[in-house]
Structure 1
Amino acid sequence: MASGDAPTAPAPAGAVVVCEHEVLRVADIGFEAPAALLASYGLALARVPDGEAIPGSFWGECEAGLVGTTVHARGDTPVHSLLHEACHLIVMPPERRALVHTDATDSVAEEDATCCLQILLADRLPGVGRARLMADMDAWGYTFRLGSARAWFEHDAEDARAFLAERGLP
């Protein structure tokens, strides 16, 4: 979510709920390409068996989770969620990564940079791409001042891009 959002409370620990939004899932693209992408940033992707709770998931349900430098996901995890959580780890200082468990956000600037980077990295996953990822972000309920992920990314993400550039990220 981008700045100005009012998130709801996270799901209770261990909650397993079927996600019903029509978005691209990790099972649709497989675990191999996302695992390779995460590895290029020194992160690991842990596959969680279907039906089991996802460790470190802030929102519960099928949303990806974070524990240290590992992103946890199931086959029904949305690709946007996997990328979002991974990007939280990528944009944060390395010394904070090992300490992360479930809640990674440090600031609005870091959250915005995370959203920007997940859109950029979507182009590195076969069968995903930024257009699909932004449509899925909108369908899932991400909210942006300009009304859509695409409008925000194209016309209001200068601060997020500067944040990434300062850290040598795309």
Structure 2
Amino acid sequence: MLTLAEIGFGAPEALLARHGLALARVADGEPIPGSYWGECEAGLIGTTVYARSDTPVHSLLHEACHLLVMPPERRAAVHTDATDSVPEEDAACCLQILLADQLPGVGRDRLMADMDAWGYSFRLGSARAWFEHDAEDALAFLATRGLLP
């Protein structure tokens, strides 16, 4: 899986900043604050996403997208677990795929492959199949909130 060590922190930090979020770099080997999955997976507290150099890019984008799809008034209170509903989870998955195209060296194809390798579960069998054939509700959710890139 593609990690932040491979693409650097600059582009992801700028992408998150454009959306009103902060990226906090965690020292290698240190625990990641607010990480739901632990180990190298990204964490979130309020409007800050925490990551190390070994954090997978898909994890960083997924947690950031959780913050972006939720109502702004809920963001400040978020700590570790941002999921509120299936529509928000689907919208976060969809948005992370779309935003991957804005990161040099990533793109949606690589991101979807990494999502599958990590173990994201979609009823059509893969992230690509879901995104291309079953993400209409997630895209509508994003459109109504002005989140389509």
- TM normalised by structure 2 equals 0.99
CA distance in 2, matches of 1:24, 1:142: 15
Q: For 1:4-153, what aligned pairs fall within 5 Å after superposition?
A: 23-153=1-131
* Alpha-carbon offset, residue 90 of structure 1: 0.6
Gaps of at least 5 residues in structure 1 are: 1-22
Paired AA for residue 25 in structure 1: T
Aligned-residue identity in percent:
84
CA distance in 2, matches of 1:154, 1:78: 23
CA distance in 2, matches of 1:31, 1:152: 29
CA distance in 2, matches of 1:157, 1:121: 15
Aligned length: 148
* Alpha-carbon offset, residue 144 of structure 1: 0.2
| SS of 1:152 mapped into structure 2 | helix
Aligned-CA RMSD value:
0.3
Paired AA for residue 125 in structure 1: L
- TM normalised by structure 1 equals 0.87
CA-to-aligned-CA distance 1:93-113 (integer Å, 9 cap, x gap): 110000000000010000000
* Alpha-carbon offset, residue 88 of structure 1: 0.3
CA distance in 2, matches of 1:116, 1:169: 11
| SS of 2:30 mapped into structure 1 | coil
CA distance in 1, matches of 2:5, 2:13: 13
Divergent runs of 4+, >2 A: none
Name the one with the larger helix percent: 2
CA distance in 1, matches of 2:44, 2:139: 24
| SS of 1:127 mapped into structure 2 | coil
